[in-house]
Structure 1
Amino acid sequence: MDDNVFLPKLSQNLLKSLDDDEYYDITIEVGNDPYVKIFRAHMVILNYRSTYLRRILSTNKKKNDGNLVQIKLPNILPEIFQIILRYIYGGRLSLDRCDISDIIKILIAANELNLQELVNYLQLYIIENHKKWMEQSFNLVYQTSLENDSFLELQKYCTDLISKRPDKILKSISFSSITEKLLVSIIQSNNLHHISEIQVWKYVIKWGLAQNPELPSDPATFSKEDFNVLKNTLQQLIPFIKFNNLTSKEFSEKVLPYKKILPKELYKDLLKIFLNLNPDGRPNEIQNINSKIITFQHTELISKWIDKLDIADKSTSSYEFKLILRGSRDGFESDIFHEICDNQLCTVTIIKVKGNNQILGGYNPIKWKSGRGYGATKDSFIFSFEDGDDINDHILSRVMNENCAIFNDRTYGPSFGGADLVLRGNSGHCIKDSYEKQIRCPSSGMISN
């Protein structure tokens, strides 16, 4: 027989004792005026369920004069304590009808009462069931986790989000209320691969204006004092903006209106760079890409393949290659690939083969999807570099069967054709099917980065 078979009845009986008018020996005043409620309880149960309440009761024991023990909990709302009291007595907690903001209040109250079992449960419940809300209300979650040392799961969640998906924090509803220190760490991150640098600039300006709501929204109407206020607010942030990643047009339209908040030397240097560019050009010195596998020379060649140019063409690339996923950093799991890459257009997959210097890859101009099926396009291609250091030693294979160009499945990573280039976890294979050429001898053991 199950040892726990009698627990539901025990829980039910203990919960009934909360409504008993005869045998209670303690009253608890919860809340602050005008929202105060008196709860009746039993010292022995509170003593063994909450170490916090045990400490209070040990210094405020019932006297022999017939008076009840009274304690006060002014920091907890009555409706929140009602839920916690049912947990203390019956071991029951129903959160289905609770608003997420109330669940946060329950968590904070449970922490105050030192109900560690409940604290641990609520943290995991929030993370598993309210991820979207946590992203949108990140600053509340972040500040709550920092203010309570026992919220280790929330702290880990926040640290991971800052590290792996800082762009989600910038896009959150509570973005404008994050601290300067947190914003600096975000714009310094190497993982801002889901938004462009001009968007980073816009978010920084948005944050600065939010800290000074008296400022106009249009810089054309700023006074000298207005510029000084915004300059002082953003002085710790501007040094971390990667202005060299902007086009001349972006610099002219979005940065120049705020030129008076830039340090003079920085402004002079930027003028020298951007005034000599065509509107869509970027500074020439930006030839480094965020990849551990390929170089700028590889991207120039891949760009020509995308544009269907001859490799001898002297044109330089007009594309910006921006890292959105790195296997060694983000993980090789298929669900991670789809979480980050689904609905992304014009992606290049780069794969390093384990044990040698071979590089494989593919270009997908259409969206990746989680639903199983094929994506049709006439512009995709796959490729290989036999020696990753030699861009001339390559195989380019364009799609033949356009209707089977891209294979989508939530259990697979980036996959091209029927089997031409397929990745699943950190292994894969290449078998000619829907593309012109075999890019590698059929084998497994690929490692994607």
Structure 2
Amino acid sequence: MDDNTFFPNLSQNLLEILEDNEFYDTTIEVGNDPYVKIFHAHMIILYYRSPYLRRILSTDKKKDDDILTHIKLPNISPEIFQMILRYVYGGRLSLKEYDTSDIIKILVAANELNLQELITYLQSFLIKNKKIWMEQNFNLIYQTSFENNSFLNLQNFCKEIMIKEPEKVFNSINFNSISEKCLVSLIQHENSQMNVIQVWEKVLKWGIAQNPELPSDPSNYSKDDFNTLKNTLQKFIPFINFSKLKPKEFLNKHAELISKWIDELKINDSIKNLYEFKLILRGSRDGFSTSKFHEICDNQSHTITIIKVKGSDEILGGYNPIIWESGPYWGATGDSFIFSFKNKDNIENFILSRVNNDILATINSPNYGPSFGDGDLILNGNNFDKSYCSQLFYEKPIRETEDRFTVEEYEIFQIMK
């Protein structure tokens, strides 16, 4: 006969004792006003089932046989305690009927009562059966698990996600509520599958959420507003590797906007089909010489050039619907444009400048890389280290300065339907 054969009946009998409401010698006041409930229990069972209650009962022994022992548990809700009390008596706890948030509450209550067996079981149950929910509600799990050292399994679960799959934390429901300590730890891991733009965008949104008094539109920020945001984010900046930012990442984020520019649509207009952006040249791969540019891009039409300015967050670019050639001569078109983004993370912070002299839209010269107008956007010099923008044949300047700059990276894409 199985040694456990009689356990179900024993469990049932103990639950009947709990429900019988006779022979109890202890009352337990659970919850806070106005949600308080009095439970009847038996000292001997509580004493041996819960180390926490054992300590209370040991220091509060009855002085008079006619006086019931009274225990207060204000930090536990009556609904949660009722589940735990049934476990204490009958060793039973069916979790299928409970929401995951309730299971977390049971776990926290079990920890207060020092029910180690139940703590271990609940952690295993959550990790095995509620993994997706915990990923989506990562902040709650993180805060709960690190409030004390009893939830080591959940702590390891959180650490593993932060190291191996940090993007799940960034995309969790309550990401903006995670602690500063958690966010710093999160972005320190370099093996994230998210690119620099995605990480910085999430951190920026988190920072804004910590300061609800800031204007909803960043374009309306005052100097003090920017300083407030700066102070919030300053701990994160050293851990975000902006040097890894590639123009292609910028383009992926801004493809819809550029497609609208090409079709001369308004920002709020809908676009049925985005263009396909086919990479044909990358500076870090193919080199920064004018000869390599012409070797690859001559006779290629409908191209977008994306330029990352060294030493700044600026992104510059231009669209050329006609072919590039070695020249030297001008390229004529009324459909070209140049643009800039001061802050690569804010899609609304751009300058768009369309050509206003069709005859002098582009420069085809063996001495230049992809260049527009007569100085409006010029890539020049060894490794394009003498590039500049000086508005002349396009509607407006795309930089606040005409100082020369160095190209840190550039890519050219062919636009395809």
Q: Give the shorter-chain TM-score range.
A: 0.5 to 0.7
Provide the rounded CA distance (Å) in 2 between the counterparts of 1:78 and 1:61: 24
Find the counterpart in structure 2 of residue 72 from structure 1.
Answer: 72
- Report 1:71-150 matches (<5 A): 71-150=71-150
Find the counterpart in structure 2 of residue 42 from structure 1.
Answer: 42
After TM superposition, the score normalised by the length of structure 2 is 0.60
Answer yes or no: is 1:200 the counterpart of 2:204: no
**Alpha-carbon deviations, 1:211-242, whole Å to 9, x = none?**
11122233212111111111111111123222
Greater Cα shift, 19-28 or 243-252: 243-252
Query: Would you say the 8 A contact 2:281–2:296 is kept in 1?
Result: no
**What is the identity, as a one-letter code, of the residue corresponding to 1:139?**
N
Query: Would you say the 8 A contact 1:244–1:282 is kept in 2?
Result: no
Provide the rounded CA distance (Å) in 2 between the counterparts of 1:29 and 1:188: 46
What SS does the aligned partner of 1:191 have? coil
What SS does the aligned partner of 2:3 have? coil
Q: Give the superposition deviation at 1:71.
A: 1.0
Q: Give the superposition deviation at 1:139.
A: 1.1
**What is the identity, as a one-letter code, of the residue corresponding to 2:102?**
D
Find the counterpart in structure 1 of residue 380 from structure 2.
Answer: none
Find the counterpart in structure 2 of residue 218 from structure 1.
Answer: 217
> Cα gap change, 1:282/1:314 in structure 2, threshold over 3 Å: closer, same or farther?
closer
Provide the rounded CA distance (Å) in 2 between the counterparts of 1:90 and 1:41: 13
> Cα gap change, 1:111/1:314 in structure 2, threshold over 3 Å: closer, same or farther?
farther
After TM superposition, the score normalised by the length of structure 1 is 0.56
Query: Would you say the 8 A contact 2:280–2:296 is kept in 1?
Result: no
> Cα gap change, 1:79/1:243 in structure 2, threshold over 3 Å: closer, same or farther?
same
**Alpha-carbon deviations, 1:417-445, whole Å to 9, x = none?**
xxxxxxxxxxxxxxxxxxxxxxxxxxxxx
Q: Give the superposition deviation at 1:19.
A: 2.0
Count of aligned residue pairs for this structure pair = 268
Find the counterpart in structure 1 of residue 231 from structure 2.
Answer: 232
**Alpha-carbon deviations, 1:294-352, whole Å to 9, x = none?**
xxxxxx8xxxxxxxxxxxx9759x9xxxxxxxxxxxxxxxxxxxxxxxxxxxxxxxxxx
**What is the identity, as a one-letter code, of the residue corresponding to 1:62?**
K
Provide the rounded CA distance (Å) in 1 between the counterparts of 2:280 and 2:102: 51
> Cα gap change, 1:113/1:314 in structure 2, threshold over 3 Å: closer, same or farther?
farther
**What is the identity, as a one-letter code, of the residue corresponding to 1:48?**
Y
Provide the rounded CA distance (Å) in 1 between the counterparts of 2:204 and 2:251: 15
What SS does the aligned partner of 2:72 have? strand
Q: Give the superposition deviation at 1:65.
A: 4.2
Query: Would you say the 8 A contact 1:176–1:210 is kept in 2?
Result: yes
**Alpha-carbon deviations, 1:15-55, whole Å to 9, x = none?**
01112233111111111111111111111111111111111
Q: Give the superposition deviation at 1:106.
A: 0.4
Find the counterpart in structure 2 of residue 365 from structure 1.
Answer: none
**What is the identity, as a one-letter code, of the residue corresponding to 2:157?**
Y
**Higher gyration radius (CA):** 2
Q: Give the superposition deviation at 1:78.
A: 0.6
Q: Give the superposition deviation at 1:283.
A: 9.0
Provide the rounded CA distance (Å) in 2 between the counterparts of 1:241 and 1:39: 54
Query: Would you say the 8 A contact 2:195–2:249 is kept in 1?
Result: no
Looking at both structures, which has the greater relative contact order when contacts are Cα pairs under 8 Å and sequence separation is at least 6?
2
Provide the rounded CA distance (Å) in 2 between the counterparts of 1:198 and 1:282: 21
> Cα gap change, 1:62/1:20 in structure 2, threshold over 3 Å: closer, same or farther?
farther
Query: Would you say the 8 A contact 1:246–1:282 is kept in 2?
Result: no
Query: Would you say the 8 A contact 1:198–1:250 is kept in 2?
Result: yes
> Cα gap change, 1:7/1:218 in structure 2, threshold over 3 Å: closer, same or farther?
same
Give unmatched runs, 5+ long, in structure 1. 256-279, 288-299, 301-312, 319-449
What SS does the aligned partner of 2:146 have? helix
Calculate the aligned-residue CA RMSD, in Å: 2.8
Provide the rounded CA distance (Å) in 2 between the counterparts of 1:63 and 1:9: 35
Q: Give the superposition deviation at 1:3.
A: 1.1
- Report 1:350-429 matches (<5 A): none
